[in-house]
Amino acid sequence: MKIVSLSYGKFPAVSQLHRNFQPGVKRLRITLDLVDSADYKNNFSSIYNQLLTIMPTLAKHKCCENWSGKQGGSQIAPRLTSGIPIKKMGDMSDYAHLIEHVIIDLQCHIGDMKICSGITCGYQFPKYRFDLFVECSDKRIGVFAANLAVYLVQFLRENQTLPPNSLYLIDLAQYLTETRYTRVSSNSISQKLGWKEEIVSWALEKLRDLHFFPNSKSAKVKVR
């Protein structure tokens, strides 16, 4: 599971795919490669429920309201799994779709977006590649949200549990965004938030890895 590319713009060609896309709002395009696996279907509910422990607002998402199936066909929207408000297809596209929703949730929580819609588009070839188009009012927050979403879901897929201290990443990103911190030090943040300094140091380094800060040297994917 990896991000192949990130780009930012209006992408007018996808506007007609979701009637809730807001006119004039830019979008982040995330091209994502997944690895096909037989256990995708079995682990989805567990991964989703663990994400709810740090992102409870995922449970309030509305999904596929206008989904009409394949072009020219009459297939109805896939049924919801009990207790999961994200519609499933029963294959690896469910994880691309889940990542889309995690990105939306993170942007709303960290960047204070009031409304955010997205869509997941699969490639005919290669079949493991997907384009996610997500409304994005702040490019930096969107890029971070995409990287964090993939990190969380991939870690859950590989370890069946959330990364240690993962909630700190979301809370620290939100705090730094709200306060517009310009001089970041683990000591000052530790005193402000009442966190252990080693936790703050770890979280700051992880935020750099996930491209929260502009021009992060550790960024693995170029953003256009």
- Residue 217 domain flag: no
- Flag whether 141 is in a domain: yes
HSE-up of 203 (CA within 13 Å, CB side)? 26
Residues in the chain: 224
Rounded-to-integer distance, Cα 147 and Cα 103, Å: 9
What does the alpha-carbon distance between residue 84 and residue 99 come to, in Å, rounded to a whole number?
A: 14
pLDDT > 90 in the chain, percent? 58
Q: What value does the mean pLDDT of the chain take?
A: 84
Eight-class DSSP state of 223: B
Q: How many other CB atoms are found less than 10 A from the CB of residue 156?
A: 21
Residue 123 tokens read as 């490639």
Cα 7 from Cα 17, distance rounded (Å):
18
What is the predicted pLDDT for the residue at 11?
A: 93
In a domain, 167, yes or no: no
Question: In terms of residue numbers, what domain contains 111?
Answer: 2-162
Q: Which pair of tokens denotes residue 161?
A: 């549990």
- Residue-level pLDDT at 63: 74
Residue 180 lies in a domain: no
Question: Where are any strands of DSSP class E within 66-217?
Answer: 118-122, 129-135
Find how far residue 190's CA is from the centre of its chain: 27
Domain count, the chain: 1
Q: Are strands 118-122 and 27-33 parallel, antiparallel or unpaired?
A: unpaired
Q: Is residue 25 part of a domain?
A: yes
Q: Which helix (H) or strand (E) holds 30?
A: strand 27-33
| Residue 54 tokens, joined | 């740090």
Neighbours of 200 (CB within 10 A): 22
pLDDT in tens, 68-106: 444 433 333 444 454 556 667 777 888 999 999 999 999
Is position 115 within any domain?
yes
pLDDT digit string, tens, across residues 193-222 = 999 999 999 999 999 999 999 876 544 444
- Residues sharing a CB contact under 8 Å with residue 5, sequence separation 6 or more, in sequence order: 29, 30, 31, 221, 222, 224
pLDDT tens for 19-57 read 888 888 999 999 999 986 656 666 888 999 999 999 999
Residues 159 and 72: their CA atoms lie apart, in Å, by 40
CB 199 within 8 Å of CB 168: yes
Q: What is the pTM of this model?
A: 0.86
* Residues 126-141: tens digit of each pLDDT: 989 999 999 999 999 9
